[in-house]
Amino acid sequence: MQAFASRSFRGALGTLLAAAAFIGYGATRTPAAPMPGARAAAPPSLTPLAGSPLQPRLDETFPSAVREDLQTVADEVAAVVSRLLPGPPPAFRPIICTVDPNGPLTDVTTDPSRYRITLTVTGRYYAQLVYQLSHELAHVMMDPRRTNGSVETVATAVSIRALMDIADRWQVQPPHPRWQAYVPRFREYALARQAEALRNFPAPVRAAAYDGRWDEVALYLRYRRPESEGRPYNRDLHHLAAMALCAEPVPWAEFVGLGTLTDPSPERDPVFRSDLQLDLSRVPLCLRRIGIGRATALAAAEFAARPAVNGGFLFFDGGHWVWLGEMDPAARDTCLPWLARLGATRLLWEPAVSPMARGAVAGAVPGS
């Protein structure tokens, strides 16, 4: 288990945010420092996993001039993801990759005998290919018949980790000697994707991520979770949650089959569904880092003016102030009236269970 964030996270991402333009594939600049913690004590194994079920095959829609090289990169991605998420996927099928401008995504319905992964990469944009394919292979290992905000967060975390791991592998032994020059591109691409996501959050949220105040980030993610689960393709939220998840060592293997923890399960209802949440009693405990399954209640309040309140997490967003705090589950009857007296115009109390699974108490403050 490894983390890819640490004390110097602020410096690495802050440098990117301050840049006039974000790093794209092929940009010319001094390589950004890799995420501290992405380095293993020893280089990752360079031997492909014999018999790995993750053997994506690129079809003829990829240009013939680059298909062989892209297949080599795809094999590298499969090896990295197989080490992060070991074992057979929940529902094995052969994996065919094809070019589609509407990708990336994993199609589980068109052909029930195989997974069809669509990608947008048609040139030697290796960092983009690693990012897209590792995300989709993570879905295969979690069960691509299900997705939601939690599943998308883990897939996003895998994609960032895969970029850093490929950089480590190629630093030591690239598939071709000249490909070692791509090593900084993978690290820059990972950092740029995260920095690009962070710029879309309120300044206090960005500052909490830069400073490594992950409890505050978890509060914010918990507050945004109904939106994340209801619209499971908010990539900015997924990146922020991936940073919080990976701020400490991650038990990656526990995510194999994560998508099966819905009701009904994919075995009972095998069609693709994005409207089901995970059973919080069965998810890995590390998801508490992103506000899932916390043992405390969440109190949230909106104010027209900045409230005179200490503690918690306060930020300005969308024309109003928002205060968040984790509370004793039994404190609802004292906490909500206190926030109302402070002038809250809207209150939310989420018990120590999923708001989508059990319901949250929300609404305007009486008399406001």
Q: Is residue 24 predicted with pLDDT exceeding 70?
A: no
> In this structure, which amino acid lies at residue 16?
L
- pLDDT class for 359, splitting at 50, 70, 90? very low
Q: Phi and psi at residue 302, in whole multiples of 5°?
A: -105, 140
Mean pLDDT score of the chain: 85
CA distances, 358 to each of 160, 271, 326 (Å): 32, 24, 18
Residues in a beta bridge with 346: 302, 364
Alpha helices in the chain (DSSP H): 9-18, 64-84, 126-142, 149-172, 183-198, 203-211, 214-230, 235-245, 332-341, 355-358
CB 134 within 8 A of CB 158: yes
DSSP state of 298: E
Per-residue pLDDT, 50: 53
Sign of CA dihedral 344, 308, 349, 244: positive
Distance, in Å, from the CA atom of 361 to the CA atom of 116, rounded to the nearest integer, reads 41
> How many angstroms separate the CA atoms of 335 and 124, rounded?
56
Token pair in block for residue 231: 């619209």
Rounded to an integer, the average pLDDT of 224-253 is 91
CA distances from 182 to 99, 158, 177 (A): 23, 20, 10
**How much is the pLDDT for 46?**
47
Tokens standing for residue 141:
């290992």
CA dist., res. 258 & res. 134, Å (int):
16
pLDDT tier, 353 (very low <50, low <70, confident <90, very high otherwise)? low
Residue bearing the bigger pLDDT, 291 or 44 = 291
The reported pLDDT for the residue numbered 51 is: 57
214 has a pLDDT exceeding 90: yes
- What whole-number distance in Å separates Cα of residue 159 and Cα of residue 149? 15
Q: What Å distances lie between residue 322 and 175, 223, 230, 326, CA to CA?
A: 50, 10, 21, 14
Q: Sign of the CA dihedral 86, 91, 96, 98? A: negative
* Amino acid found at 315: F
In whole angstroms, what separates CA 66 from the centre of its chain? 29
CA distance 122 to 100: 10
The answer to whether 277 touches 263, Cβ cutoff 8 Å, is no
Q: Position 332: which residue type?
A: R
Lowest mean pLDDT among 1-5, 40-44, 326-330: 40-44
Which two structure tokens, joined as six digits, stand for 300?
């949230």
Q: What is the pLDDT of residue 227?
A: 82
Are residues 154 and 245 in contact, defined by beta-carbon separation less than 8 angstroms? yes
For the segment 68-123, what is each residue's pLDDT rounded down to a tens digit? 999 999 999 999 999 999 989 998 899 999 999 999 999 999 999 999 999 999 99
Lowest mean pLDDT: which of 49-58, 236-245, 268-277, 354-363?
354-363
Contact 309, 324 (CB under 8 A): no
Residue 345: pLDDT over 50:
yes
